[in-house]
Amino acid sequence: MSWQVEVDGETCIGSGMCAAIAEEHFQLVDGVSRPLRTETEPDDDVVDAAESCPVEAIRVRDAQSGRTLAPEP
Amino acid sequence: MTTIDPTPRTYPFSAPDRLRLDPFYAELRRQEPVSRVQLPYGEAAWLATRYSDVRTVFADPRFSRAATVDKDEPRARPIPQQTGILTMDPPEHTRLRKLVAKAFTARRVEQLRPRAQRIADDLSRAMRRGGPPLDLVEEFALPLPITVICELLGVPYEDRTDFRVWSDAFLSTSKLSEQQVNDYIGQMRAYMAGLVEQRREHPTDDLLSALIQARDEQDKLSETELLDLSVGLLVAGHETTATQIPNFVYVLLTHPEELDWLRADPERIPAAVEELMRFVPLGVNAAFPRYALEDVELGGVLIRAGEPVLASLASANRDESVFEDADQLDLRRDSNSHIGFGHGPHHCLGAQLARMELQVALGTLLRDFEDLRLAVDEPDVSWKTGMLVRGPRNLPVTW
């Protein structure tokens, strides 16, 4: 099982919350967060980052089914 | 590297004058973007005034809030802030922030909007029943955010008279004596400790109970952290919004053309709130300095490891290189990348909640009071003094 991680660069305000929570998954580039890998092994830090983003710019999906795993609907 | 006048300037540069930002910031942005300043208490500091430098100070991990704890932090009041989430860096900061962040996401806040609208509707109805003139601060701006944060956190609304007084102490600079500030902060903590004990025995469906659960069942935070965090949520959860509502109304009433444009279409309110957030310099001065953990070059100046840097959000929000006609209120402004809610890991936790409340507040007032205006001459509006934030003490309005 693997996850897809997306950051909506238009929505992102560069708060750096995700990079602080999951530094192995997100990096701020020119003030906007980017996932270091678009596909990753399941990791709770990624879910925490998506749930904690102040503008919900991060979406985590199941790579196979496309189902949204975080943020919680 | 630029040569800097080593003698620090007295800061703030002038006493707060309504919502007017001292034009000296514009001069500094042009000529000395990172300069030396001396606040009333603590050591001298660097002050960053340009948008890009301010963002760097707030977001770059080489600048630390945690390092302030054992330093003589530059500050506007006698007592330094020694505990709480604002004195932490990631990952410690992240551990606490994560516990509460989920309650303040855009989507969770959207679910609170209908309730906030009902509260605003009730207040508006009471205002119309009571008739003009009245004080918008007491009758509308305070009760709206206080009710919302009380319900969200699980604090009894009936206790507001007490915690309003204590809460002001957290934002006081010279209005209260050092002793009074300490007393009030102590009373606030004792009050919250009592509430925590009650909720421990009888949990309810609110954020305070969720935090207690995170402490007792998952050991995710200490008892002190639990108290600091819940006091912080209660204070920050209403003081700022309660101050910004009258600030925004004051700005609109003194910019009648902008107000008319806004009235023409309520869908313009969210963008207007963003522009008002940019335009209103809520803080009296740049606060919460960061200490450089290593030598950093900032705006052409070398900041040495161990030196404190202040960054002015208000000045950044008026940076002409980012915002056209930056000193003008322009509600039509699009792609407004203001940093009125701060930036980086300490970016306002309640930003979405504040946005929603400010939108509801303005929407309700514009909808229900077609001829809202000041009930006194503008120079007679009385402003807060001796506080960290600017705002009218009272805002007498009529219609």
Fold classification of B9-398 (topology level) = Cytochrome p450 (1.10.630)
Question: In this complex, is the C-beta atom of B351 within 8 Å of any C-beta atom belonging to chain A?
Answer: yes
Asked if the Cβ–Cβ distance from A54 to B347 is below 8 Å, we say yes
Structurally, at CATH architecture level, domain A3-70 sits in: 2-Layer Sandwich (3.30)
pLDDT of residue A52: 81
Give B7-48 pLDDT, tens digit per residue. 999 999 999 999 999 999 999 999 999 999 999 999 999 999
User: What proportion of chain A, given as a percentage, has pLDDT over 70?
Assistant: 99
Question: In this complex, is the C-beta atom of A29 within 8 Å of any C-beta atom belonging to chain B?
Answer: no
Between CA B354 and CA B364, with CA B359 as vertex, the angle to 5 degrees is: 130
Res. A73 pLDDT band, cuts 50 70 90: low
Question: In this complex, is the C-beta atom of A17 within 8 Å of any C-beta atom belonging to chain B?
Answer: yes
User: Averaged over B195-213, what is the pLDDT?
Assistant: 95
Q: Residue B379, preceding bond cis, omega within 30 degrees?
A: no
Res. B1 pLDDT band, cuts 50 70 90: low
Give B237-258 pLDDT, tens digit per residue. 999 999 999 999 999 999 999 9
Give A44-68 pLDDT, tens digit per residue. 889 988 988 877 899 999 999 999 9
Tell me whether strands B45-48 and B308-311 are parallel, antiparallel or unpaired.
parallel
User: Averaged over B394-398, what is the pLDDT?
Assistant: 98
Asked if the Cβ–Cβ distance from B345 to A15 is below 8 Å, we say yes
How far is Cα B101 from Cα B270, in angstroms, rounded to an integer? 22
Give B308-354 pLDDT, tens digit per residue. 999 999 999 999 999 999 999 999 998 788 999 998 889 899 999 99
Give B156-175 pLDDT, tens digit per residue. 999 999 999 898 888 888 87
Closest CB to A56: pick one of B90, B98, B105: B105
Res. A30 pLDDT band, cuts 50 70 90: confident
Q: Encode burial over B182-217: b for 16+ CB neighbours within 10 A, e otherwise.
A: eebbeebbebbeebbeebeeeeeebbbbbbbebbee
As for the ipTM of the complex, it is 0.71
Domain boundaries, chain A: 3-70
Q: Is the pLDDT of residue B231 over 80?
A: yes
Between CA B147 and CA B154, with CA B148 as vertex, the angle to 5 degrees is: 85
Torsion, Cα B336 B341 B343 B346, to 10 degrees, reads: -160
Asked if the Cβ–Cβ distance from A51 to B101 is below 8 Å, we say yes
- C-alpha B166: how far from its chain's center? 17
Closest CB to A52: pick one of B101, B351, B352: B101
